[in-house]
Structure 1
């Protein structure tokens, strides 16, 4: 997936992104967070955040502009600019992820109970700044470790509005020449920023407001 060659957004700009976030754990202990952004100030792009079993946090970004945007908001021990491709096959219900040392195939299952609830609500409710406090409180109870409001590394406010969610039911992944094993919960939680992804592996449709 590529993105437009727009200039990177400046600090202080209000930014919005629409897309999906996939979170999965593996038996080997690596936890993977894939962002597949369909609309953003930089066009369409994908990025991958990886936390290795020893706690090392790695960003795999497709170019310097994306790396600059993501590292404004999240903390990493290493940042690598590599070719990042995420191919979504609706018929097969899979995501194929190729990002530097990571090769992964994620298999989607049915809508989760949270997804049923989210998809039944009008976007005016789930995405409103007015109701974001209520949504944040519900998320904290239903999805421990997940926060929908917070601040990036540079102090920029962030707000996540989730609209749908489907379970991940399988993962086939390699890191270099090492097989990462089967699907496990995202535990312990990833430590990139103010919030983790749900412990239950899933793909969540989100609208993100930064600033």
Structure 2
């Protein structure tokens, strides 16, 4: 009896920007600002606190369920998440987190990324092939890896700008000033680069049908 053909995985794509920064308080912040996604446009925030506790701040229950099923968190909170571009960079208001970020010029990583055409840079086949090189160029980061619930994830980064300053509070306490994102955050298979940056990215997540 002939075998049934395997069902192809479901593929979901998220296009937008990710910002990763460290602070001298020890709070490390990764913000996803998604212009296009299966859930519409939204912003979510990953935090890693000085004691290692990981926190997800999500704008609604649907996003909270999907993101917490893909990455690892100790705490998940649904809060009003608002991100606004400013002349200096970005202002973020997300529950107990208020942050202002200064964004500078294109980074050395961004200049390197310009070499690769964007359609290639977003292709999961390319991202799987270059993952070992990406981890050498930007320690702690990666372009392909395993995620939660049998999902496989690919980060197609096409641009990058330096973050030059950060101000704000978490739970009423000052964040301090800008610091490297070090050690790497541990929400998933990869972190952001050690040098604080905002990157243009298309994330592809493949999951069992």
Give TM-score, length-normalised by structure 1: 0.91
* Consecutive unaligned residues in structure 2, runs of 5 or more: 1-8
Equivalent position of 1:85 in the other structure: 82
Task: Describe how 1:60-99 pairs up with structure 2 within 5 A.
Answer: 60-89=57-86, 92-99=87-94
Please point out which of 95, 102, 109 is paired with 2:104. Answer: 109
The structure with the larger Rg is 2
Q: Which residue of 2 aligns with 1:14?
A: 11
Q: Which string of whole-angstrom CA distances, capped at 9 and with x for unpartnered residues, describes residues 86-136 of structure 1?
A: 1112xx131100000000001101111110121232112212233223331
Matching of residues 3-152 of structure 1 within 5 Å = 13-89=10-86, 92-152=87-147
Shift in CA distance, 204/130, structure 1 to aligned 2, threshold 3 Å: same
RMSD: 1.1
Which range moved further: 22-31 or 145-154? 145-154
Retained in 2: the 8 A contact 1:73–1:151?
no
Query: Aligned match of 2:148 in 143, 149, 153?
Result: 153
Unaligned runs of 5+ in 1: 1-11
Q: Is the 8 A contact 1:126 1:135 kept in 2?
A: no
Contact 2:156-2:202 within 8 A present in 1 as well: yes
Provide the aligned length of Structure 1 versus Structure 2: 198
CA contact (8 A) 2:124 2:204 kept: no
Scaled by the length of structure 2, the TM-score of the pair is: 0.91
* Over 4 Å off, 4+ runs: none
Cα distance in 1 for partners of 2:93, 2:54 equals 18
